Each structure stands twice: as structure tokens, then as C-alpha cells.
Amino acid sequence: MGKLYLVPTPIGNLKDITFRAIEVLKSADLILAEDTRTSGKLLKHYEISTHMQSHHMHNEHKTLKMLVDKMHSGLTIALISDAGTPAISDPGFLLTRACVEAGIEVECLPGATAFVPALVNSGLPNDRFVFEGFLPVKKGRQTRLQILAEETRTIILYESPHKLVKTLGQLSEYFGADRAVSVSRELTKLHEETVRGSLASVLEHYTQKPPKGELVIIVAGK
């Protein structure tokens, strides 16, 4: 019987990949990639020639049985996302669950995840935290914000640059403008930046200076 490896990939700096991750990607029979064009650059950089197949949120439901059958027949499959650890706000959960239910061994390698450095360098308590990923876009967003306003642990959110100002405004409305927040962007890249302060001050900063790149928001608990 084969095996499924979940392999973290760099979130920006190509050097942030482990020796074992490279070894697994080279030895696997098949690599499942969220975007083969994006992952192709990483594989080319490390001279990895393993065959790639697209595996993303729009097709993962349809290919589960086929992939499980391949592993039952002896294939070793490595799953990667565009950046970071698979299944953390990226495809991976459905295939992992299907493998567990089918008795196929699953192993997740340690590696890059955007929220960990953002949390640690925020200066906010990190002994207890809750990871929320992306907030609901429409349905359930208001309810989620009301619930999180009462959360006592440090809160971790992901956000895209064009929605950051709106989200910070809503957080200020529901949590209070004085609540401490830290926003990290372009982590591990040349223009990495972390802006810390109150929700009001960080909102003002990004209103005047629209951000670029993917962002992690760390909000102090109540």
C-alpha cells in the first residue's frame, strides 16, 4: 500500500524548505499541487522532476476515490499547496480524511506556516490562541465577529490586501478601537513588514498606505 505525505512549501523565501521535504518530493510517485504553474517554479529550483497533477478546491471532491485507489495500488503521493502547510486554509483536509478512512498512512512534515511567525513576532500573548483563517465573506460574518469579540485568547486571521481596511474597520467596530492588533505582510520576503498598535491606529496606517501581499492579522483577546 502507498502513502500520503503532506509537504509544507515556502511562504515566500525559497530557502525555507526542509531537506526532508525536498527528499520526499523527489522520491514520491506523484505530486498533487494546488497550482502546477506556481509549484513548478519551486520544483525547478530544486531540480525535482516528479510528475505533478492539479489538486485544488474546485476538483478535489471529484478526484478523491481515484487518488485513494492509486495509493491502495502502491503509489506514494505528496500533497503541496501554493505556499505553507496543506489543509491550513488550503486544500488537503478532504484527501487526508479519505486516506484515514481508507486505512492509508498519512504523514505531515513540519515546515512553513504563515500564522506562526506572525503570531510569535506580534508581541501579543501566544500561550493560548485561536486560528480563524479567513472570516466568512458574507453569510455568518457578523455572527462570527460578535462571537470573536468575546474571545479571550489571541485571535489569528488571514486576509487579502484589498479587504484589509474593511476587516480592520469591522474589528474596530465589534472589538473596540483600542484593542491591540498586529498585521504582518509579505512574511519571509524582501519587503516583510509588521505593523503593531491599536485597531484604530493600524486602520489609519493602512487607510493611508494600502497594503500589498498576503496578510496575517493577530488580535489581542478580550
DSSP label at 163?
Answer: G
Mean pLDDT of 111-119: 95
Which pLDDT does position 193 carry in this prediction?
A: 96
Q: Domains of the chain, with CATH numbers? A: 3-108 (3.40.1010.10), 115-219 (3.30.950.10)
Banded pLDDT at 138 (limits 50, 70, 90): confident
Q: What is the pLDDT of residue 60?
A: 79
pLDDT of residue 219: 98
Grid coordinates of 48: 525535482
pLDDT over 90 (residue 5): yes
35-53: per-residue pLDDT in tens? 999 999 999 999 999 999 9
- For residue 28, give the nearest of 86, 58, 71, 84 by alpha carbon: 71
| Residues 97/67, Cβ–Cβ less than 8 Å | no
- The pLDDT score that the predictor gives to residue 145 is 97
pLDDT confidence of residue 120: 97
For residue 57, pLDDT beyond 90: no
Q: What is the mean pLDDT of the chain?
A: 96
Question: In whole angstroms, how far apart are CA 160 and each of 104, 165, 197?
Answer: 35, 10, 20
Percent of the chain with pLDDT over 90: 92
**Model pLDDT, residue 179:** 98
Q: Name the one residue in this structure whose C-alpha cell is 460574518.
A: 141
